[in-house]
Amino acid sequence: MKKLINKPEDVVLEEFKGIELAHPDLVKVHYDPDYIVRADAPVKGKVGVISGGGSGHEPMHGGYVGMGMLDAACPGAVFTSPTPDQMLEATKAVDGGAGVLHIVKNYTGDVMNFEMAADLAKAEGIDVEAVVVNDDVAVKDSLYTAGRRGVGLTVLMEKIVGAAAEEGRSLQEVAELARKINGQGRSMGMALTSCTVPHAGKPTFDLPEDEMEIGIGIHGEPGRTRMKIKTADEVTEILMKPIIEDIPYEEGDEVLLFVNSMGGTPLIELYILYRKAIEILEAKGIKVVRNLIGPYITSLEMAGCSFTLLKMDEDLIKLWDAPVKTAGMRWGV
């Protein structure tokens, strides 16, 4: 294992210390239980928006805490969901009297821990709504799986819902907006390499030099199929086809196209992928009205990418363009 770390068990804690030193204008870091809240939390009268999950997906979620996005993030150990006491304390810390929305990615552990936290917070008199993100078309949504995973759409939801909360919308409105986004966004990803969880010390799966995994999640878990490596254009087609067919996206639709790096893939390659995705969408009469390109939801140093498509409307575009000031995403300020 070659990593710029000190001790595997200190990785998340030392990252926290770094964030605290780097962004005192944006966030406050709380230890034991661990969570990051925006510097001016709680914002009186505003719905608090919280997300959380395992670490290793940076800048998600800690990098998205700040004005116009999340009020708090609860990071767990690398690839491990956080615990209910973290989420409960974060919920209390951001409750400005208008209630708190939990954005939960659909993984067995995340859902269980957030459910427990929501019950505890409600018992303390805080209004809590939870929305589960499950946008990954690589997983068959059936009785025989844990259901579709929450992946790239989470980032878009955090930005848009965060803007709606900032604007002063109610908890019910913000939760409905989040559910609407979940209903009209889909993603799929692939990996060229595995990744190494610091405390495991070796790659989570073996991937020969000439092969790739299609349909991976964001935790270094292997995908649904493995195949010989193909060109950027062919990979774009393999991933975009199931996304477009799933909802389906149709001629005349206006969408946000998000091309994400899993951590190890450079921007130069993401733009090659973006170019091909635009070609595919244009051929179908689908118009890309906004985009996001870069490493926004990663899987440590994994090389690979994911595509996310979100159907947009006037309201979503306005909220997407609204000012945001976080470590990981910043515009309009």
Partner 1 sequence: MAVTKNDVLEWIRAYAQVIADNEDYLTELDSPIGDADHGANMHRGFKAVLDKLPANEDKDIGKILMGVGMALLSKVGGAGGPLYSTVFIQMGKSIDGKMEFELADWANALEAATQGVVRLGKASPGDKTMVDALTPAVEALKEASEQGLTLGEGLEKSAKAAEEGMIATIPLVARKGRASYLGERSAGHQDPGATSTFLLLDTAVKVWAKSQ
Asked if 102 is an active-site residue, the reply is no
CB 30 within 8 A of CB 89: yes
Tokens representing residue 59 in the block? 């800048």
Nearer to partner 1, 178 or 195 (CB): 195
Say which of 30, 57, 61, 102 is annotated catalytic.
Answer: 57
Instruction: Tell me how far, at minimum, the Cβ of 84 lies from partner 1, in Å.
Output: 6
Nearer to partner 1, 11 or 281 (CB): 11
Helix (H) or strand (E) holding 230: none
Instruction: Tell me how far, at minimum, the Cβ of 1 lies from partner 1, in Å.
Output: 12
User: DSSP label at 161?
Assistant: H
Nearer to partner 1, 162 or 220 (CB): 220
Helix (H) or strand (E) holding 269: helix 267-283
**What order of strands is seen across the sheet that includes strand 330-331?**
66-67, 324-326, 330-331
Rounded to whole angstroms, what are the CA distances from 149 to 33, 194, 219?
26, 18, 11
Nearer to partner 1, 225 or 231 (CB): 225
Binding residues vs partner 1 (CB under 8 A): 33, 54, 76-85, 107-109, 112-113, 116, 138-140, 143-146, 149, 197, 199-200, 204-205, 217, 219-222, 224
Instruction: Tell me how far, at minimum, the Cβ of 85 lies from partner 1, in Å.
Output: 5
Asked if 61 is an active-site residue, the reply is no
Instruction: Tell me how far, at minimum, the Cβ of 146 lies from partner 1, in Å.
Output: 5
Instruction: Return the bridge partners of 72, or none.
Output: 37, 50
Say which of 30, 61, 102, 219 is annotated catalytic.
Answer: 219
Comparing C-alpha atoms, which of 158, 56, 57, 24 is closest to residue 103?
Answer: 158
Query: Rounded to an integer, what is the distance from CA 209 to the centroid of its chain?
Result: 28
Whole-angstrom distance, CA of residue 34 vs CA of residue 13: 9
Active site residues: 57, 219
